[in-house]
Amino acid sequence: MNAFELPGLTADETTDDLFLGGALTIRQPRNGYRAGTDAVLLASLITPETAGFGPVLDVGAGVGVVGLCVAARCPAAKVVLIERDPNLSELARGNIERNGLSDRASVVETDLTRATAALDEANVASESFAVVLANPPYHDDRRSTAAESRLKAVSHQMPEEGLEAWARFMCRMAASGGRVAMIHKAEALSRILSAFEGRFGSVGVLPIYARAGEPAIRVIVEGIKGSRAPVRVKPGLVLHRPDNNFLSEIEAVFRHGAALPIQCRD
């Protein structure tokens, strides 16, 4: 087995992809789950200042793009990646090493619904994270055809009630006053708000539009553990100009590791 082969995943089934203008090199499955714009947008909520408040948890990390984008952009950030799939976990470990982040990032391989033993073994404590981020599967496995690739299926599909389990785990891991954020399809907003209710306050909803004048395609929903402040809807984030190129401030996020525009973070 060569350096790029994994059990059940050979070298020709993976690719090397550049993120943040080449600041990160990420190996990921060629035909399975492939992290992209959503992961980078979620990570760009976190600034070097907010990352200094305490460790960051990337829930359902896949190959690690969300957490490693935070680590690459924020030199003080310490990041823990939680991923249940052995192949994706191994890719995430390799991505940590190849990007020189072994001193600030680690992987815990576990299912978030049965995580206690693995967290204890890794000395990862509940209620210890200043920031908890999640980019969960987008498709209800009862409404969509199972993906041909097993990796794609487990990364893109889960039961509709699964969001409740993700929110419960995020609440378990966030410190009192800790910040959580989840990116998802816009149509999942009502389910996310329901899952967040009673766990997080000061909930902020950021609609994301491919182009101005079109329906939102994604939402980022944030909250503060223990807060009782009401829900607020933030100014929407538009990604593309009419010519389909990124707006300059979005280009800066993807190519130069900039944070989201301030009105989208506050």
- Percentage above 90 pLDDT, the chain: 77
For 33-61, the pLDDT digits (tens) are 688 899 999 999 999 887 778 899 999 99
Tell me what pLDDT residue 3 has: 46
| CA neighbor of 219 nearest in space, from 258, 250, 191 | 191
pLDDT of 161:
62
Instruction: Pinpoint the alpha helices (H) of the chain.
Output: 37-43, 48-51, 65-73, 86-98, 116-121, 150-156, 162-173, 189-196, 248-256, 262-265
**pLDDT score of 159:** 53
The model's confidence at residue 25, banded by pLDDT at 50, 70 and 90, is very high
Facing residues of 260 across strands? none
pTM above 0.75, yes or no: yes
Cα separation of the two ends of the chain: 48
Q: What is the pLDDT of residues 230-256, one digit of tens each?
A: 999 999 999 999 999 999 999 999 999
CATH for the stretch 11-265: 3.40.50.150
- Looking at residue 265, its pLDDT comes to 78
Chain centroid offset of residue 207 CA: 16
Domain ranges within the chain, ordered by starting residue: 11-265
The confidence score (pLDDT) of residue 160 equals 56
172 vs 261, which has greater pLDDT? Answer: 172
The whole-number pLDDT of residue 6 equals 52
Nearest 5°: the CA angle 202, 162, 117 is 95
| Phi, psi torsion values for 144, nearest 5 degrees | -125, 155
Give the pLDDT confidence score for residue 142 in this predicted structure: 42
Write down the pLDDT at residue 11.
Answer: 67
Taking 70 as the threshold, does the pLDDT of residue 145 lie above it?
no
- If one compares 150 and 82, the residue with the highest pLDDT of the two is 82
Eight-state DSSP code of residue 112: G
Exposure letters 86-105 (e unless 16+ CB within 10 A, then b): ebbbbbbbbbbeebebeebb
Answer yes or no: are the C-beta atoms of 56 and 70 closer than 8 Å: yes
Lowest pLDDT segment from 22-31, 127-136, 224-233: 22-31
What is the tens place of the pLDDT at every residue in 153-195?
Answer: 444 445 556 899 999 999 999 999 999 999 999 999 999 999 9
Distance separating alpha carbons of residues 65 and 101, to the nearest angstrom: 12
3-7, 127-131, 215-219: which range is least confident on average? Answer: 3-7
Give residue 60's pLDDT: 95
Rounded to whole angstroms, the Cα distance separating 216 from 237 reads 9
Q: Is the CB of residue 112 less than 8 Å from the CB of residue 15?
A: no
